[in-house]
Structure 1
């Protein structure tokens, strides 16, 4: 018997079996639902010549800020709003800080630090700015996996015409797996919250 571990007891086997069933059920529920919400969400586009009152580039991916800048430079909006929750001492985010420090002449640039530093904080800022400026039509830029949940959050804070536009990104298989879990947990949080 030396060299062998202790035998698995019956209560431990039951716990392992229950955990395995829970994992299988979670996969069976999350995979099809997540596919619709995260991999193939309802997205909008800004067609050639189409404009909006403002574009909000969500934080979390630096590519989103630069995609917003590209759209503003193409004349799709006169106002670019950039959520900038990034730490100032991290060189990886310096390009976004440089963008926020720039002074474009063809459009108005608004950078802000969301409070709280979540999509909800970003949606609140958008709702406040839209009310102050009379914006009736805005576009929000987000990663594909974040589109559906963002729409449900922004809809609580903004009453106008909302376009959810996908930021073009290359997303690794590992990140897809991570985002399925993260976004699902985020939906649980959204369901528990009320109002904007």
Structure 2
């Protein structure tokens, strides 16, 4: 009887490191699989377009890149997705006073809502091609959603913004869950 108890204890003690090793291996595989999606997405060729579209939130880095693209003559007009209220709303952004820039709030305030807002804007302004600016971890999901929900030609570019290791963990988890949601939910209807 005593040898049976010792055998069970030894077996249980061996299964803990095996489970820990399996968990670590799973985390490493998840991190490696996410590298081409979230850390190093393929870089889109930024050609001339009808519109530059900054999707939310409109951070200073995204706005600066949009302004640079307009100065370089990539497009004459810009659309900026802003929060309906509070921080980063149109009232908070001086760029929204620029005549070449339209600041609007998508409904819903999601990537699919932003695709729907672009669809409505494109119909109204005869936009056929758009440069979409987001941040690097969001590029792959943005490309997927815009390919699914927007009929025009889109080039998605990511701006590197400083992310701490904990931010990268959050982005891996958030973007992965949001990717699954994007696959199984329909596009938002264009408003306007």
Measured against the shorter chain, the TM-score band is 0.7 to 0.9
Is 2:69 aligned against 1:74? no
Larger proportion of helix: 2
Aligned partners of 1:111, 1:21: CA distance in 2, in Å? Answer: 50
Is 2:88 aligned against 1:52? no
Aligned partners of 2:177, 2:167: CA distance in 1, in Å? Answer: 15
Aligned to 1:167: 159
The superposition leaves residues 123-159 of structure 1 with CA deviations (integer Å, 9 ceiling, x where unpaired) of: 1111121222222211100111100000111112222
Farther off after superposition, 177-186 or 95-104: 95-104
Post-superposition offset of 1:43 = 2.1
Aligned length: 174
Unpaired runs of 5+ in structure 1?
1-12
Over aligned residues, Cα RMSD in angstroms?
A: 2.9
Q: Kindly tell me: are residues 146 and 40 of structure 1, through their superposed partners in 2, closer, same or farther at Cα, counting changes over 3 Å?
A: same
Unpaired runs of 5+ in structure 2?
1-11
Q: Does the 8 Å contact 1:65/1:96 carry over to 2?
A: no
TM-score (normalizing by structure 1): 0.75
Aligned partners of 2:125, 2:137: CA distance in 1, in Å? Answer: 30
Q: Does the 8 Å contact 2:141/2:179 carry over to 1?
A: yes
Q: Does the 8 Å contact 1:57/1:64 carry over to 2?
A: yes
Aligned to 1:85: 83
Q: Does the 8 Å contact 1:57/1:140 carry over to 2?
A: yes
SS of the aligned residue for 1:156 comes to: helix
Give the greater-gyration-radius structure (CA): 2
Post-superposition offset of 1:178 = 1.3
